[in-house]
Amino acid sequence: MSVKLILVGCGNMGYAMLDGWLRSGRLMPAEVIVVEPNEALRERASRLGAGIVAAAGELPRDVEPNLVILAVKPQVMRAVVPDYRRFAARATFLSVAAGVSIATMAEILGDDAAIIRCMPNTPAAIGKGMMVTFANPHVNDETKAFVGELLASSGAVADIASEELMDAVTAVSGSGPAYIFHFIESLTAAGKAAGLPPETAKLLAMQTVYGAACLAKESGEEPGRLREQVTSPNGTTAAALAVLMGEDRLTRLVSDAVEAARVRSIELGK
Ligand SMILES: NC(=O)C1=CN([C@@H]2O[C@H](COP(=O)(O)OP(=O)(O)OC[C@H]3O[C@@H](n4cnc5c(N)ncnc54)[C@H](O)[C@@H]3O)[C@@H](O)[C@H]2O)C=CC1
Ligand SMILES: O=C(O)[C@@H]1CCC=N1
């Protein structure tokens, strides 16, 4: 089987995507080569069965991928991308780096290079990711279809109409899982403080977030309506929501957090 994909960087995000794709069966291990300098992470990736090298210079000379996926930190993109320029004539490049624009990559890969920006999130590892893409005009329909299917195997996929929106996407769904994990931590801590055993508090917090997210997605009801269905007049939920919603407290806090992430995404692109 020929190599379809080179994955550059197999850290948190690279590994999550690869794990999701291989689990789904959409991609076979023999179709992937991972480039990862960190030995422990190479070891982890090798357990998925894909080919692994430590540096671009170790790639087989005759390898001709359809797709080069860049999953390194934004800060090292300019240093790393030139090692893969030789593939630009044939392959499409897909970058998941926050903030790094298509124009920046095209400066290195050439103006005709086919480039897709994608903002995934780590739930991709279990097929529950949110993948948002924006492609430049050099990406052909066949590649768009292949990438669309690949991404869909690890979660929901959406396009955006303008690349500028990628900073907002990053701030909502790219970083978003961390906000939810922190909410689970906070709800667990509050449960413990209220007297629950630690493991019980964690189970209650996790299952509540999971159940609420599934209900919001599957019922087709507006989240506000679902909130009202939990809130008995003058009951317990109303007492809690008076704290969270009073003076728009949580809405303002989340809005400030998302704006901080969006601004940081813009900075990372400079
Ligand atoms: N972690 C997340 O939830 C998300 C991350 N991203 C983006 O994914 C990218 C990677 O982020 P993380 O996985 O969190 O970082 P990470 O630090 O876990 O992974 C980056 C990997 O790149 C490797 N690397 C460094 N130099 C390399 C080179 N020359 N060749 C090949 N690999 C090299 C590192 O050893 C590391 O394992 C970033 O650009 C980030 O903006 C996007 C969406 C979500
Ligand atoms: O924190 C970050 O910069 C990356 C981008 C989105 C999620 N993680």
pLDDT score at 44:
96
- Kindly state whether residues 97 and 202 are assigned to the same domain: no
Query: For ligand 1, atom 37, which residue shows the shortest CA distance?
Result: 11
Same domain, 28 and 96: yes
**Same domain for 51 and 22?**
yes
74 is an annotated ligand-binding site residue: yes
Give the Å distance between the CA of 97 and the centre of ligand 1: 8
Chunked mean pLDDT (size 10), the chain, 270 residues: 88 96 93 98 96 97 96 96 97 97 97 98 96 97 95 96 97 98 98 98 98 97 98 98 98 98 95
239 and 264 inside one domain: yes
Same domain assignment for residues 77 and 207: no
Same domain, 187 and 161: no
What's the gap in Å between 60 CA and the centre of ligand 2? 31
Global ipTM: 0.99
Residue 263: per-residue pLDDT? 98
Q: Mark whether 14 and 102 lie in a shared domain.
A: yes
Instruction: Please name which ligand lies nearest the alpha carbon of 260.
Output: 2
90 C-alpha vs ligand 1 centroid, how far in Å?
24
- Report the CATH number at residue 41: 3.40.50.720
Atom of ligand 2 nearest to the CA of 264: 3
124: phi > 0 → left, psi -120 to 50 → alpha, else beta; which?
A: alpha
Q: Given the CA of residue 41, which atom of ligand 1 is nearest to it?
A: 37
* Three-state SS sequence of 87-131: HCCCCEEEECCCCCCHHHHHHHHCCCCEEEEEECCHHHHHCCEEE
CA-nearest residue, atom 3 of ligand 2: 98
Range of the domain at 50: 5-169
- Where among 149, 169, 189 does a domain terminate? 169
pLDDT at 146: 94
Q: Pick from 144, 169, 194: which residue ends a domain? A: 169
Residue 96 labelled as part of a binding site = no
Give, for ligand 2, the residue of 13, 70, 73, 95 to mutate: max count of ligand atoms closer than 8 Å to Cβ: 13
CATH number of the domain to which 183 belongs: 1.10.3730.10
Atom of ligand 1 nearest to the CA of 80: 29
Q: Cα separation of 88 and 97, whole Å?
A: 18
Secondary structure of 96-107 as H, E, C letters: CCCCCCHHHHHH
Quote the number of domains for the chain.
Answer: 2
- Residue with the smallest CA separation from ligand 2 atom 5 is 98
User: Is the Cβ–Cβ distance between 66 and 92 less than 8 Å?
Assistant: yes
Phi, psi of 97 (to 5 degrees): -70, 130
Q: Choose the final residue of a domain: 129, 146, 169.
A: 169
For residue 246, the CA-to-ligand 1 centroid distance in Å is: 39
pLDDT attached to residue 2: 77
CB 43 within 8 A of CB 71: no
Residues 157 and 182 in one domain: no
Same domain flag for 184 and 152: no
Same domain, 12 and 129: yes
Q: Are residues 76 and 196 in the same domain?
A: no
> Which of ligand 1's atoms lies nearest the C-alpha of 95?
39
The answer to whether residues 19 and 136 belong to one domain is yes
Please list every protein residue whose CB sits less than 6 Å from any atom of ligand 1: 8-14, 35-38, 41, 71-74, 76, 80, 96-98, 119-122, 174
